[in-house]
Structure formats: structure tokens, C-alpha cells
Amino acid sequence: MHRHRTIGWRIAIPHVALIVVVTWGLSLVFGQTLRRATVDQTKADLMLQARVVRHVLADPLAAGDAAGLAKRAAEYAEVLGARITVIAPDGQVLAETDQDPAEMRNHLYRPEIQQASVAGEGAAVRPSDTLGVEMVYAAVSVVEHGRDLGFVRVAMRGRDLSAQLGVLRRALVLLALGASAFAVTLAIVIAEVTARPIRRLSLFVRRLAAGDLEQRMLSSSDDEVGQLTRDTMEMAGRLHETITSLNAQTARLAGVLNSMADAVLMTDQQGSVTLINPAAQTLLHTTEDDALGRSFTQVVRQHELAAVWREASDVSGPCVELVDSGDRFLQITVSALDDVEPGTRLAVLQDLTHVRRLEGMRREFVSNISHELRTPLASMRAIVDTLAAGALDDPPAAARFVQRMDAEIDALSQMVEELLELSRIESGRVPIRQERIDLVPVLRAATERLLPQAERGRLTVTMHLPPKLPLVLGDGPRLQQVVTNLLHNAIKFTPESGAIDIEARAMGDRVMVMVSDSGIGIRPELHDRIFERFFKADPSRSTPGTGLGLAIVKHIVLAHGGSVWVDSELGHGSRFSFTLLQAPSDGLSVEAGAAAE
Ligand code: ADP
């Protein structure tokens, strides 16, 4: 900012100029008036003196006494400090105090003499012809007894007048200088006092513009600047409120976007991505820095999605489509947000892969269950057909058939039982009790139940238990079912003379139970799949069993807050392990509405 453009200077400069012009103008006018007054006064003084001198010189003049005249004139000139000239009616100089009268020219046509000859008295200010300097003259005519004797003139040197006027002028100049200096100081002070609050306000507004919305400024003055300051403060306050509430809204929106499970992308008119939420970054394997500013097509890297997005530019309503890219199944919804800004598009991507997998599992489940039902039903139909075809007449054969039918019905009802149990646990409708229980009796009971079966296969079953096993939180009968299912499998998949080991031990805040066998083992790629419903590793599905046992094991263990897994090597045996939470030592039982999954 140029210094002379500031408000202070704008106020000071015209003020100073005005005051200086007025002061100098006034002193000029005043000086002139004073000069005129002084000259008039001098003229009047000289006129009085001339009248006195006329009185004194009348006698020698009338007598024509030249010497007396000159002497008297010289005396009075001395006393009055003036120049005295005596002039005859014809203009000849009769006596003169400063010059030799003989050398002086005729004075009849001097203006003061002319005036005096007409009006009796005359005065003039003019340069002297004789002396060449400015002089003030006063002349009176001398008339005695009607006889015109001539004129007496008293003059004062202009030098004396100028000296008087000079003193005056100096006083005036000093006055004008003093007044100007005072005016300049005053103007600067006023300008500063006026400009200071404006400068403060301007600094305040500049800081406001730079984003400092919390600064405060106090103004106690009631003038326009004070009012402006208060208005600006109020505006800053409102601005602050608005920005704070906008920030809060933005934070809320960002919170919603960030925590959304759906992927959200926004694009501008040019098709560049302007917003991408964390879910979208994860889904599209990108980062915000990489995605922002790039085209939608480049960011999604899937032409099916890009096609839906392009299509949405032409239709008015939201455009919803399902896109299957092989490994993923996505639903894309593209809406036009033209009221936000023309050309803005919002794309929401939902990963429905897991929904599709669940659907697939459901289909597989239905097909599995139909398959599992078909075998026993087919053999029952065959038995009934055989009986109807005449086997009823052969009682021993009929009894055999009925026995087989009984076995099939047992298998069927066991399967239905297991299915029901599984669905009950999965749905979480049956709460798993969380009681403090000792696992040792549970393990023993399961083993004792299956011991006859193990002995039939000449299998040795050994228990390895620590002297003191911590109590666990759980549901006794259900845990017994877990161990029974694992042991049952171990017996089923272990050839004759094999060994089965049951081991339990404390591990941190958990208790781990392991059931190992020296049986046929499981291929590594199936280690997860064997826990699925109806899954059987044997492709011919010829081994007895429904494929539900391990699914039940998994769900019961998960409902207890534990985990279950298998370690196995094909041909060398398998080891199934599961963990349970230890019961807290304070002796209180914990009731938990445990839910599977
Ligand atoms: P199943 O009623 O067929 O035993 P499970 O769910 O108990 O059903 O087991 C699923 C599959 O896991 C079995 O068909 C079998 O192939 C495999 N399996 C389970 N336990 C063992 C084991 N101890 N040794 C080898 N394979 C096993």
C-alpha cells in the first residue's frame, strides 16, 4: 500500500494544504491592509506636521526671508525627523532640508502639490524624483490674508515606512509559520487517531480471511469505525458458527462414509473420481491417493462396471445391475447427483459374493440331503418290494428283511436327529449352558460308550490326563457329544490294530482336548471342508455316516467360544483338537446366551 494513499494521509494532506493556504492568504490580505493603514496613518501624521510647519513658516515666507525660512525648516525637520520642502506658488523650491533647493526642478506638478493647490491639502506615496527613493508626502497650501504664499511639504522616507512594515510582515510570517506547524501536527494526530482503528480492523479482517476465525477484537468507540468493528465481529462469529456446523456435518458424513460396508465412489462431470470411501478402496485394491483424480474406468478396472456407470449418464433414475466377474459378485447402483453439481455420479458397489456363496451352499445342502435320503429310501423300497413279491411267505427271510429295514430306519432317524440338532445349535435358539464343569468325567463317559466299538476293531484307546485339569465353562452333555463324534470318527477311519489317544491339558486361559488316531488321514486341502455339513472325504460316500458329525462338533465348540481344527497326514493318522475357556476361579457360574456362528 502506498503511504500517501492511506486514510491518515488523505486526511492530513488536504487539512495541511487548507490551513497553509488560509493562513498565508490571510497574512497576505492582513499584511496589505496593515500596510495600507500604516501608509494612511503616516499620511495623516505628516499632514498634521505639515499644518504645524505651515504655521511656523508662514511668517518668514510672507516676509520673503529665505535664510530664516531655511533655518526654521531645518530646525523643524530635525525635530520631526522628516524632510521639509517649501515651494513657491509657481512651483519653484524655496527651501529644502535634504537638498540644495537651487538644484531642484519645479515642483508645481508634483501630485501632492497639485492636490494642495486645488483642495488646500494633498498627500501622495511615490518615488521621489529628486532622491529616487519611495517617499510619503503631505503638502498644504500657505495662504495669508488671501495671499497665496506657496506650499509647505513634509515628507518621510519610504525606508522608514518599509522598516515599520517589515517588522509587521515578519510578525505575520512567524504567525503563519507557527499556525501552519500547529495545523500540520494537529492534522497528523487526527489522521493517526482516525486511521489507527481502521488499521486494526483491516488487520483483523485480513487474519479472518486467512482462516483465524476465533480471534476477538474489542472496540469501545461509538463512531462509525466502532460500529463497523462490532458488525465485523458479529459477522466473524456467524461465519465461525456456520463453518463449525458445516465441519460437524462434514465429519458426520465422512463418519458415515468411512464406516459404511458398501463401497462408495463419486465422479465429476469429466468422469474423474472425487470421493472414494475406505470400503471402496479395499474392494478395488487401491488407495485414496491413487484413485482421486483418475477416471472411474481406471479405478474400477472392470469394463462391466464401467459400462453400467456410462449407461447411468443417459438414464434419469438410479441404475442397478449385478455384475459377475468370476471371483466376485457385485451389485452396482449408479445415481446421478445433478443437483449437487451437474454431471456428478454416485456409484455404490455391494459385494454380494458371500450371499451368493450362501445360496450355493443352500442349494448344495438340499441336493446333499436329497441324496442322503435317497439311498436309505431306495433300499427300503427294495425291501418292501421284495416282501410284497413273496418274501413275506418265507418267515426267516421276512425277519431278515424287517431287520435290515429297522437298520435303515435307525440310520434315517439318526440323520434327522443330527440335522435337527445342528439346526438348533446353528440358529442359536438353544442356549449353550456355561457351567463350571470338569472335563475328565465327560471324556471318560464318551470313551466308555465307544470302547466296545473300538475293541471290535482291535484298537487301543489311551487317555493322557494331567493330575489336575482346570475346570471349563460349558455344557456337559453337548461337550460329551463333541468328544463322542470325534472318537467315533477316529474309530471309523482307523484300520485294525491302530491306536487312539485322548489327551487334555491346560493352555493359558484355555483347556485343549486332542483326539488322535493312526488311521487313514485326510488330504490337506480338505482340512477345512470336512467341517461342512454332509461333507465326506470318501468320494464314493460308501463309509457309513451322514457327514454331519464334524459340522455338529464345530458348531458346539464355536458356541462355547472355542476353536476346533485338524492336523493330519494322509496315511499316517489325524489329530482333531479343540479348545474351551477355563472357568474363572471365583466359583461363579456364568450364564451366557451362546449363539452359534
Ligand atoms: P461322517 O458321518 O461321514 O463321519 P463327519 O462330519 O464326522 O461325517 O466327517 C466328515 C468326513 O471327514 C468324513 O467323511 C471323513 O472323510 C473325514 N474324517 C473325519 N474324521 C476323520 C478321521 N479321524 N480320519 C480320517 N478322516 C476323517
Confidence of residue 539 (pLDDT cuts 50, 70, 90): low
CB atoms under 10 Å from CB of 165, counted, come to 16
Residue type at 285 in one-letter notation: H
Q: Model-level pTM greater than 0.85? A: no
Instruction: Kindly state the average pLDDT of the residues 553-565.
Output: 93
The alpha carbon torsion through 353, 357, 358, 363 (nearest 10 deg) reads 140
The whole-number pLDDT of residue 58 equals 86
Judge whether residue 247 has pLDDT over 60. Answer: yes
The whole-number pLDDT of residue 518 equals 94
The whole-number pLDDT of residue 597 equals 33
What is the Å distance from ligand 1's center to 522 Cα? 9
What is the Å distance from ligand 1's center to 489 Cα? 6
Judge whether residue 50 has pLDDT over 80. Answer: yes
Nearest CA to ligand 1 atom 25: 521
Closest CA to 159 of 134, 180, 182: 134
Confidence of residue 3 (pLDDT cuts 50, 70, 90): low
Nearest CA to ligand 1 atom 7: 549
The whole-number pLDDT of residue 294 equals 93
Mean model confidence pLDDT for the chain: 85
Judge whether residue 293 has pLDDT over 50. Answer: yes
Judge whether residue 420 has pLDDT over 50. Answer: yes
What is the Å distance from ligand 1's center to 238 Cα? 72
Structural element, H or E, at residue 136: strand 134-144
Task: Check residues 241 and 311 and name the one with the higher pLDDT.
Answer: 241
| CB 546 within 8 Å of CB 415 | yes
H helix runs in 351-392, sequence order = 353-388
The separation between CA 479 and the C-alpha centre of its own chain, rounded to angstroms, equals: 58
Task: Check residues 529 and 35 and name the one with the higher pLDDT.
Answer: 529
Instruction: Kindly state the average pLDDT of the residues 498-516.
Output: 95
The whole-number pLDDT of residue 397 equals 87
**Could you write out the three-class secondary structure of 202-259?**
HHHHHHHHCCCCCCCCCCCCCCHHHHHHHHHHHHHHHHHHHHHHHHHHHHHHHHHHHH
The whole-number pLDDT of residue 592 equals 42
What are the CA-CA distances from residue 159 to residues 129, 165, 343, 501, 548 (Å)? 15, 10, 96, 147, 142
Which three three-digit cell numbers place residue 579? 479348545
- Report pLDDT digits (tens) over 323-332: 887 788 899 9
Judge whether residue 320 has pLDDT over 50. Answer: yes
Distance CA 558, CA 576 (A): 15
Q: Is 319 helix (H, G, I), strand (E, B) or coil?
A: strand
Assign residue 54 a region (left: φ > 0; alpha: ψ between -120 and 50; beta: otherwise): alpha
Instruction: Kindly state the average pLDDT of the residues 413-437.
Output: 83
Distance CA 16, CA 189 (A): 12
Task: Check residues 95 and 414 and name the one with the higher pLDDT.
Answer: 95
Confidence of residue 255 (pLDDT cuts 50, 70, 90): very high
Distance CA 336, CA 343 (A): 7
Distance CA 562, CA 566 (A): 14
Most confident region among 57-66, 401-410, 425-434, 561-570 by mean pLDDT: 561-570
Distance CA 581, CA 597 (A): 17
Decide whether any atom of ligand 1 lies within 6 Å of the 489 Cβ: yes
Closest CA to 156 of 59, 34, 41, 72: 41
What is the Å distance from ligand 1's center to 451 Cα? 19
Q: What is the DSSP letter of 1?
A: -
The whole-number pLDDT of residue 593 equals 39
Decide whether any atom of ligand 1 lies within 6 Å of the 562 Cβ: no
Instruction: Kindly state the average pLDDT of the residues 388-402.
Output: 87
- Report pLDDT digits (tens) over 449-496: 999 989 988 999 999 999 999 999 999 989 999 999 999 999 999 999
Decide whether any atom of ligand 1 lies within 6 Å of the 229 Cβ: no
Report the percentage of the chain scoring pLDDT > 90: 33
Decide whether any atom of ligand 1 lies within 6 Å of the 158 Cβ: no
The alpha carbon torsion through 525, 527, 528, 534 (nearest 10 deg) reads 100
Instruction: Point out the ligand 1 atom lying closest to the alpha carbon of residue 535.
Output: 10
What is the Å distance from ligand 1's center to 536 Cα? 6
Instruction: Kindly state the average pLDDT of the residues 561-568.
Output: 95
The whole-number pLDDT of residue 514 equals 97
Instruction: Kindly state the average pLDDT of the residues 369-396.
Output: 86
The whole-number pLDDT of residue 298 equals 92
Q: Is 593 helix (H, G, I), strand (E, B) or coil?
A: coil
Judge whether residue 590 has pLDDT over 60. Answer: no
- Report pLDDT digits (tens) over 116-152: 989 889 998 887 776 667 788 999 999 888 888 899 9
Distance CA 439, CA 504 (A): 9
Distance CA 122, CA 124 (A): 7
Lowest mean pLDDT among 187-201, 282-296, 331-345, 564-578: 187-201
Decide whether any atom of ligand 1 lies within 6 Å of the 573 Cβ: no
Nearest CA to ligand 1 atom 21: 489
- Report pLDDT digits (tens) over 156-212: 866 666 677 778 778 878 888 888 888 888 888 888 887 888 888 888 888 888 888
Distance CA 321, CA 211 (A): 45
The whole-number pLDDT of residue 589 equals 44
Which three three-digit cell numbers place residue 407? 437298520
